Amino acid sequence: MKNLYNHITVIITLIFFMVSFSGHTQKKTYETLLETVYLKNTKEIVYKNTFSNYNDDLIASKEIKFKKEIKFLKGKNSSLLFVSNKNNVELVTASYLRIIQKAANRSRNAEAFQLFLINNLPQLSHQFSIDDNLEELYFISRKDTFNGKIDALPSVL
């Protein structure tokens, strides 16, 4: 009786391996028949862009106090969302404000500001390159940075 059970388990195991290997070879034949698929470079369709809305709000306020805003936003844990057919980006608002502050402080002009944002947020590079408000955002945010305050001092010569 014990010998019969051993023979049955061996037969069932062999049948299992034969079925699994036959499915594996069939899969390989399908892989060889498939052709390469090339995707067109389609235009990015944006469904939601709270980054742009937040930039508009910052521009409308005319003055930004980075330390105060970052401290306030840390407590709220609010985030900005960018959703499109190509990518989705979610970033804490306080972190985004820190990036804007660094970009404004380290940049000498609006083009450098835009490049800094593109390098630090590459997921949004396409949006930053077409955004018309970045120059205005640079001038408003530059006023509250250290280098902006130094530039505002009258030169003594």
DSSP secondary structure letters along 80-97: EEEEESS-EEEEEHHHHH
Give 13-32 as a 3 state SS string: HHHHHHHHHHHHHHHHHHHH
Q: Are 121 and 54 in contact (CB under 8 A)?
A: no
Which tens digits make up the pLDDT trace of 110-127? 899 989 998 998 888 888
pTM of the model: 0.65
Q: Which of 17-21, 25-29, 41-45, 79-83 has the highest mean pLDDT?
A: 79-83
As beta bridge partners, residue 84 has 46
For the beta sheet containing 88-92, the strands, ordered from the edge strand earlier in sequence to the opposite edge, are 46-49, 79-84, 88-92
Which tens digits make up the pLDDT trace of 34-68? 666 655 656 666 666 777 888 888 888 888 888 88
CA-CA distance, 89 to 81, in Å (whole number)? Answer: 6
The stretch 7-19 carries a mean pLDDT of 77
> Mean pLDDT across the chain, nearest whole number?
78
Categorize the per-residue pLDDT at 8 as very low, low, confident or very high, splitting at 50, 70 and 90: confident
